[in-house]
Structure 1
């Protein structure tokens, strides 16, 4: 990446190394963070792998950040096809843990590369790259761990684990009171199964990975959290008064993207043109997307289609390209024809933040990945929460029950991750877009959008936290 205006700021103010995990949802926030570091006059070096390099190169082409590629380990795990270097290319998300554990074999190359760099002040690496802590310790600089989570999910998970709350109830759907935060009720289904059962005799790859990441996190200098204090003061205060390492809230990192201009006269995506048309007619649009990792059955996709069709709501539905085999099992072409003009189906990567910021978009059916939640909050768009995996059920509880910026889909059996029938989806889509409850959460999310904007401006809580972190590292 070339010499640009950013390079004028890179004086001897410090040098930060960033190492994102090989997944776009983990990478993009750290690329935003790199811009913040550059704007504060730090030198930035980012580590990645050859297949992930083009995306990062393109994202930071206008900056002075340096980029180093390390070879991704091949033939370590027989389940992972050769050439796969990111989670979105995995044949199945079930291969996530073998993939994540394989990254540990990058450590020798990483340490050799670090030794060739100018003195490193500190490092920010993804929590999933637990082994980078050992490298930082060997070479004598602090490591901050980046979790793509919020403090709510971390605090609730910690209390649940310490008090072994998941080992009491007989039913996976039984409500459990979180002792430290008694107004919060959770179920076993809110957590990954690796955390809900004892497997000391034969540890799974999942529990091995979680243990490695947790131990490395506890030994790290601090945690970079993509959140802002005003969104979750109770949980941020709890963490920083009773837990370690310290959490530094420097988000929402997606706000950095506000300063990245779009040339609307050149190559305007068809989905933006479609949204523009809806805006001209004064029509509201529901955005539907479930991230790059969720795997939906053909049966579930068909129910979504039926619910959207029957709702008579305008919608933009993004179906990930990896789902082409599943989508082939139902007549998507017939569906698209029937909803033509009112609904649009997109099967390619989209700039989600740009969609959410569009004035016509007034609701978001989301899996509640934390990046998506923050983007929706920053855009002032209320959420219809449909969690599917990882910490998403906890994010959904935060969205619906804690900060009240969204509603929840109705599942057949009322459980957290149950099947959603078309009637249940249609009902809640209408409530979000046209009902009283929808209006309430729409008002609330706009309040948080304003607070998010203030947090990242000069003098705001996240701006000050980032400056405090940098000042502390300069004295370290």
Structure 2
């Protein structure tokens, strides 16, 4: 990571005064859209105009689902709707042998058509700017391949997964080179990559890699308080020598939340004891079978613990298109009546960050997507890890084996088996109502505090963000 004091601290008012604009280009999947939107807020706060680009439906998705702040109220944040051809997005298949969201592949491949309108946007912005800074998703390389050809444009790659997971895949791909005993101790016991991806997505990833040779540096949604060792290992592999670990991007404190219409689940949480409630949510891409939903519900019920359970199917490429074939995931008939007073079932998009930040929440049953992991760490909530696909199994290893703030609810080697109610119930009790769970809560609280303290004084990931801002406004 390059060193350098912030231009803002040295008296410059921000990028607008030095002719710098930033353009964001996320992959159109919820976890990516969300991280880019949070990063847009942080950079815009430095007085730099930020242009968030994508198809209209995905911009609507990002702004509709964000919690804790209003993206339409940020003066320096602008949205650009890029034209993209219609794509057929099938409904998710809850009974598929793999949990990877195959229904999103049509929209991923359709992003190739964004190259021309995105390049037109960049060229238009570059006319009256000293510098156009493009921050692109690592999986959108083919869209931004023309950026380095512009004389006053710079391209930066943003990685939306953990440094630990990023390096682990690189380490395997490069023949498992020597990394020292500390890193090798965990890397040699990683979950198998089998079942993480489908061949079509692996091919999609390979198609993006050649376009990053001309990038000016990398950004990570992480920080040294969480995974310094693996951030450094990635940095050693950098071709540019420029890397900034600028996370966490999500708000780490909700005291300044602008939401006035509180979700019903938060009102219910207000009436519960501290650390007594389990939050259950598997993110935006997971669809459970009817049989697994039944077992999960029974496990929660039999655990005797309080819970909030988000029951919904994974996203389609267009989350606003219900379609005739859309399935509505449901709990068994009579379930909500049986758990009334002890459990809350939520079927719509839930304010996850605010729920995790509530003092009554003492645990999180999660798929371990990186957004969810970062939000849980930020709010000091331990995790019962139930990974489904992609980076999630390795994020789960980071949570349970490296950070030691969670339990493994599901063995990845048994990923194709239905998880029984007994396993689920015992895991819930272990996390919420045992001495071991209390120790995990203590560890999670320490990690949360380690993030908040440096941010409060401008250090940690925020210090690296200041360094990045100084770099692009140099």
**Under a length normalisation based on structure 1, what TM-score does the superposition of the two structures give?**
0.83
CA deviation string 1:357-388 (max 9, x = no partner): 00100000000001101111111110000000
Contact 2:286–2:314 under 8 Å retained in 1: no
Distance 1:53 1:159 in 2: 34
Distance 1:325 1:191 in 2: 24
Distance 1:455 1:371 in 2: 20
Distance 1:420 1:218 in 2: 43
What do you get for the CA RMSD once the two structures are aligned?
Answer: 2.8
Structure-1 residue corresponding to 2:160: 148
Contact 2:263–2:351 under 8 Å retained in 1: no
Moved more, 244-253 or 389-398: 244-253
Distance 2:465 2:275 in 1: 40
Describe the shift of the 1:262–1:60 C-alpha distance in structure 2 as closer, same or farther (beyond 3 A): closer
Describe the shift of the 1:355–1:228 C-alpha distance in structure 2 as closer, same or farther (beyond 3 A): same
Confirm whether residue 220 of structure 1 aligns to residue 215 of structure 2: yes
Aligned pair partner of 2:185 in 179, 182, 187: 182
Describe the shift of the 1:283–1:463 C-alpha distance in structure 2 as closer, same or farther (beyond 3 A): closer
Contact 1:159–1:178 under 8 Å retained in 2: no
Distance 1:57 1:424 in 2: 37
**1:415 deviation in Å?**
2.9
Distance 1:456 1:104 in 2: 37
Structure-1 residue corresponding to 2:137: 126
Distance 1:357 1:326 in 2: 28
Structure-2 residue corresponding to 1:168: none
Contact 2:89–2:104 under 8 Å retained in 1: no
Contact 1:9–1:38 under 8 Å retained in 2: no
Residues 429-468 of structure 1 mapped to structure 2, 5 A cutoff: 429-468=428-467
Structure-1 residue corresponding to 2:268: 274
Distance 1:471 1:10 in 2: 9
Contact 2:111–2:143 under 8 Å retained in 1: no
Aligned pair partner of 1:298 in 290, 296, 313: 290
**1:442 deviation in Å?**
1.0
Aligned pair partner of 2:307 in 305, 309, 315: 315
Structure-2 residue corresponding to 1:237: 232
Contact 1:297–1:326 under 8 Å retained in 2: no
Describe the shift of the 1:457–1:220 C-alpha distance in structure 2 as closer, same or farther (beyond 3 A): farther
CA deviation string 1:128-165 (max 9, x = no partner): 21123312113232211122111101111111111179
Confirm whether residue 63 of structure 1 aligns to residue 74 of structure 2: yes
Aligned pair partner of 1:208 in 198, 203, 209: 203
Confirm whether residue 362 of structure 1 aligns to residue 374 of structure 2: no
**1:9 deviation in Å?**
6.0
Structure-2 residue corresponding to 1:250: 246
Q: Secondary structure at the match of 2:136?
A: strand
- Name the structure with the higher helix share: 1
Q: Secondary structure at the match of 2:389?
A: coil
Describe the shift of the 1:459–1:261 C-alpha distance in structure 2 as closer, same or farther (beyond 3 A): closer
Structure scoring higher RCO (CA < 8 A, sep ≥ 6) equals: 2
Any gaps of 5 or more consecutive residues in structure 1?
A: 1-7, 83-91, 166-176, 195-203
Contact 1:400–1:406 under 8 Å retained in 2: yes
Structure-1 residue corresponding to 2:329: 327
Structure-1 residue corresponding to 2:31: 25
Distance 2:71 2:43 in 1: 13
Structure-1 residue corresponding to 2:3: none
**Under a length normalisation based on structure 2, what TM-score does the superposition of the two structures give?**
0.84
Any gaps of 5 or more consecutive residues in structure 2?
A: 1-12, 65-69, 92-99, 316-325
Q: Secondary structure at the match of 1:469?
A: helix
**1:216 deviation in Å?**
2.9
Moved more, 19-28 or 50-59: 50-59
